[in-house]
């Protein structure tokens, strides 16, 4: 069914056309009519399925209908739609989507999250908004200080609910719920459905429509998965070798810990790569900058921890590397869900040391298959213990590339592996 048959007004259809979307994704065709009809929704969908538009478009439509009655135009109005998200990055991304889809309307949205100054957020709330996107902690701060009123919320969206629970937001969510009107519409999106999520959903949703869509790009035919069995000390030289000899462009590398992410980033930088890092201890501005640099091809390698990377709009990358396997097998699936360019596939490569046998077994159990092992190239030597990579281990610069150095022009060049459009 085309977008024009889903009951959306012209300003929204125009914005959709401007985004270049030709047809709704499966989650959108199912969710949009249900949300417009006021139904609660339990959606199993992860990033990459078009889930943001699946709730944003019908909610903007409902807000347009409210505003037509005139009651929504007064300044200082309290939000009618509240979208709770686990991370600052996801908050910013949902906000970008709301702005894009609502660009031809006069609806107002605001986004509030921690790690940045309160005052601009207070000012935005004071001006009056229709839709509020928030991380739970900052929302509670703003409510506590009397800056956010939630008594007019008609619709609550919990986006990436599984991650909210993983990140320990359940208490905050339980403190927010009583601040909302009892009668309201509720939409819950989650990539996975653990017992905890089901319990949360049961406590919030009324007679929900359940919608499930397949995760994007995780099927074996689109993403080639393989492992290298390699000693811990040899992982960094192997990674550098693979990036260099494979001529990899944008490469997303996952580590298990923040410390591991920092250390690897430093080692790669010393080896001449342009590198960004995203993890929970990085300031908001540093994370935003790293992500923007990666998306704009100014850096070649982005090193990330699971929590920081979850929900980021980074997809369709040719190469995702698990520098360390995650402890939670489902995180492996989330990580590699970012691989695979449209129609062209991609590679998800895991560097597995002897200490990670248990994690590998659990992942293979979840995938119900063994991951093929690739032979480690000869000559991969561990880094010297002093941590300074010896020049001999540094991969030679490729033809036409400058030698080592931060921000080398050639490295920041658009990688050759795929079309720029849709590459993230
Ligand atoms: P999401 O799953 O919400 O993170 O969105 C995934 C990506 O799909 C975003 O970059 C959207 O811009 C894009 N997208 C959303 N809906 C559509 C659509 N109907 N057709 C093509 N791309 C879409």
Give the pLDDT confidence score for residue 212 in this predicted structure.
82
| Residue 384: predicted pLDDT | 64
Residue 126: inside a domain, yes or no? yes
CA angle, corner 362, sides to 311 and 166, nearest 5? Answer: 35
Does residue 143 or residue 407 have the better pLDDT?
Answer: 143
Residue 414 pLDDT > 70, yes or no?
Answer: no
Q: Are residues 296 and 237 in the same domain?
A: yes
Report the distance separating Cα 194 and Cα 325, nearest Å.
21
Hey, whose CA ends up nearest to atom 11 of ligand 1? 50
User: How far, in Å, from the CA of 96 to the mean position of ligand 1?
Assistant: 12
pLDDT > 80? residue 82:
yes
Residue 141 predicted with pLDDT over 80: yes
Shared domain for 144 and 164, answered yes or no, is yes
Q: Which pLDDT belongs to residue 144?
A: 96
Higher pLDDT among residues 365 and 356, named by residue: 356
Residue 390: both structure tokens together: 């010896």
Domain boundary among the residues 169, 189, 212 is at 212
According to the model, what pLDDT value does residue 134 have? 98
Q: In this structure, which residue's CA is closest to atom 19 in ligand 1?
A: 24
In a domain, 45, yes or no: yes
239 and 178 assigned to the same domain:
no
- Ligand 1 centre distance from Cα of residue 45 (Å): 12
CA 58 to ligand 1 centroid distance, Å: 15
Per cent of the chain over pLDDT 70 is 83
Residue 423 domain flag? no
Residue after which a domain boundary falls, among 182, 212, 242: 212
Identify the band that residue 379 occupies on the pLDDT scale cut at 50, 70 and 90: confident
Radius of gyration of the chain measured on its C-alpha atoms: 23
Total domains, the chain: 2
Q: Are residues 134 and 256 in the same domain?
A: no
169 with 242, same domain: the answer is no
Domain end call among 187, 212, 237: 212
**Helices and strands in the chain, H and E counts:** 15, 14
* pLDDT confidence bin for 401, thresholds 50/70/90: very low
Task: Quote the ligand 1 centre to 55 CA distance (angstroms).
Answer: 12
CATH number of the CATH domain containing 59? 3.40.50.300
Q: Which residues line ligand 1 (CB under 6 A)?
A: 21, 24-25, 28, 47-53, 313
Percentage with pLDDT > 90 across the chain: 55
Which DSSP helix (H) or strand (E) runs through 44? Answer: strand 41-44
* Residue-level pLDDT at 69: 67
Per-residue pLDDT at 146 exceeds 50: yes
Expressed as residue numbers, the domain containing 355 is 223-387
Ligand 1 centroid from CA 48, angstroms: 6
Residues 277 and 343 in one domain: yes
Give the burial string for 266-280 (b: 16+ CB within 10 Å, else e).
ebbbbbbbbbbbbbe
Instruction: Give the number of the atom of ligand 1 that is nearest the alpha carbon of residue 21.
Output: 20
Instruction: Provide the pLDDT confidence category of residue 400 given band limits of 50, 70 and 90.
Output: very low
Query: Are 196 and 251 members of one domain?
Result: no
Tell me the per-residue pLDDT of 13-48, one tens digit each, with 9 for 90 and over: 999 999 888 888 889 999 999 999 999 999 988 777
Question: Mean pLDDT for the chain?
Answer: 83
Tell how far the Cα of 342 is from the centroid of ligand 1, in angstroms.
13
> pLDDT of 57-71, one tens digit each?
999 999 998 877 665
Nearest CA to ligand 1 atom 1: 50
Atom 9, ligand 1: which residue's CA is nearest? Answer: 50
What pLDDT does residue 387 have? 45
Q: Once rounded to an integer, what is the mean pLDDT over residues 318-323? A: 92
Report the DSSP beta bridge partners of residue 225. 348
């Amino acid at each position: 069914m085309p977008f024009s048959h889903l009951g959306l007004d012209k300003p929204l259809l125009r914005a959709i056309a401007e985004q270049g979307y030709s047809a709704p994704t499966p989650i959108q065709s199912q969710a949009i009519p249900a949300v417009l009809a006021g139904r609660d929704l339990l959606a199993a969908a992860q990033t990459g399925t078009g889930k943001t538009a699946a709730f944003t478009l019908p909610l903007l439509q409902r807000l347009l209908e409210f505003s037509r009655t005139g009651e929504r135009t007064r300044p200082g109005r309290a939000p009618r739609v509240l979208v709770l998200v686990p991370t600052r990055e996801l908050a910013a991304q949902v906000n970008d989507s709301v702005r894009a889809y609502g660009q031809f309307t006069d609806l107002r949205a605001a986004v509030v999250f921690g790690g940045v100054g309160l005052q601009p957020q207070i000012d935005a709330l004071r001006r009056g908004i229709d839709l509020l996107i928030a991380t739970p902690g900052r929302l509670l701060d703003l409510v506590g200080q009397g800056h956010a009123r939630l008594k007019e919320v008609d619709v609550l969206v919990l986006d990436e609910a599984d991650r909210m629970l993983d990140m320990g937001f359940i208490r905050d969510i339980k403190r927010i719920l009583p601040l909302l009107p009892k009668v309201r519409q509720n939409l819950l999106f989650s990539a996975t459905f653990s017992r905890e999520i089901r319990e949360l959903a049961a406590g919030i949703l009324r007679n929900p429509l359940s919608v499930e869509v397949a995760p994007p790009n995780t099927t074996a035919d689109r993403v080639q998965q393989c492992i290298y069995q390699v000693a811990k000390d040899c992982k960094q030289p192997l990674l550098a070798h693979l990036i260099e000899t494979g001529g990899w462009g944008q490469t997303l590398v996952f580590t298990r810990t923040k410390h591991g992410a920092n250390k690897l980033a430093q080692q790669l930088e010393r080896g001449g790569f342009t590198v960004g890092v995203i993890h929970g201890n990085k300031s908001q501005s540093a994370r935003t900058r790293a992500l923007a640099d990666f998306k704009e091809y100014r850096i070649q390698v982005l090193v990330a921890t699971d929590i920081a990377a979850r929900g980021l709009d980074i997809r369709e990358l040719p190469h995702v590397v698990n520098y360390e396997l995650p402890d939670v097998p489902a995180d492996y699936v989330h990580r590699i869900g970012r691989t695979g360019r449209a129609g062209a596939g991609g590679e998800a490569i895991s560097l597995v040391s002897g200490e990670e046998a248990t994690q590998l077994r659990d992942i293979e159990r979840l995938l119900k298959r063994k991951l093929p092992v690739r032979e480690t190239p000869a000559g991969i030597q561990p880094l010297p213990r002093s941590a300074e990579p010896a020049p001999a281990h540094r991969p030679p610069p490729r033809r036409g590339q400058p030698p080592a150095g931060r921000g080398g022009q050639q490295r920041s060049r658009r990688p050759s592996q795929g079309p720029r459009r849709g590459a993230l």
